[in-house]
Structure 1
């Protein structure tokens, strides 16, 4: 039996944050081999070596834990990606390359991506940094004459919806080699891009998004890499 550590009366916020990180990482480890629906609080507290009362001090339920995990992963990866993205003046090319990088990431890191999707990644919250970034790309594309004159919310959610649907397809079923190119082509066409330009942009090479070198995302990626090695 693992040692149960009771932290209920420790008010140190930094220490509670460490406990939260331990629970999140433990949940990620459990999710490698067990569906989220079958993971119980007892599994989580035993994995993280904390008490049930400590668990309830930082999370309300197993579902709230996985929502927090998905949100944390999304924020870390988005923030890291935006800070390391090359400047691409052409907005249509920018949308194509960013979308391809995100979908390639899903093919390279399916376990991490599956945890992201539990929080309905990519977020449709207009205040989320990823939404704002895509919204800016759409507005730039409209100003440059590439995209149709439609409200920014429609254009942005069109990109997000296609990205989310394609991500689920990639995770659930093996797709043909040109699947990602076809998704990007359809996104660009639906935004109003000329068919010839859309075909060219959809075939542009791109690298997968990188996992941040630190934080929960890095730890989860390490779990996935460890699984592959074994």
Structure 2
């Protein structure tokens, strides 16, 4: 059996194209700090892709801060139909099928709280949906200079429990500008820009069974636990 290996050169200059592998486990790990610092370092525009809108509190705080400084934030998130747990068949609907609706409620509440930034054009929300395909893109792009490609969902579980990895790319001379623009253009091909929180369905718009489950789990605050572990 053949084995493979790679060598990582840590002596790269700050002004050249470079790639750094990052590993994170536990609350105060390197990857968490990199995500936090990347967002806070945004000078002009931050783009964030996540399949599930369940952002950990510090990231929400960081996004709020850069929005208050009149910087642009674009969030590309999967529509509930693009979620692995989504099912439209009432006969196969299980309790786990409620997850996409909880994430959509998170998104609607977030947009409602930050509607003024959406109106000003500083906050851009795009929903990805392509037939019955699922959406699993996760990453951060900052000022066309930094890119973080990762498996991190940017949620509480990834922040504190899971072993996560990422590749941080620094492109100060715009050497891969064309490839990056092409990639983002392809990602956005199946997105729709949402300009008002009212465009997102509310609980009363959901099927009766979904409404009933959501109200029941909210009574016992089980929805909070679900958001922490999924």
TM-score (norm 2): 0.28
Bigger strand fraction: 2
Structure exhibiting the larger radius of gyration computed from Cα positions:
1
Bigger helix fraction: 1
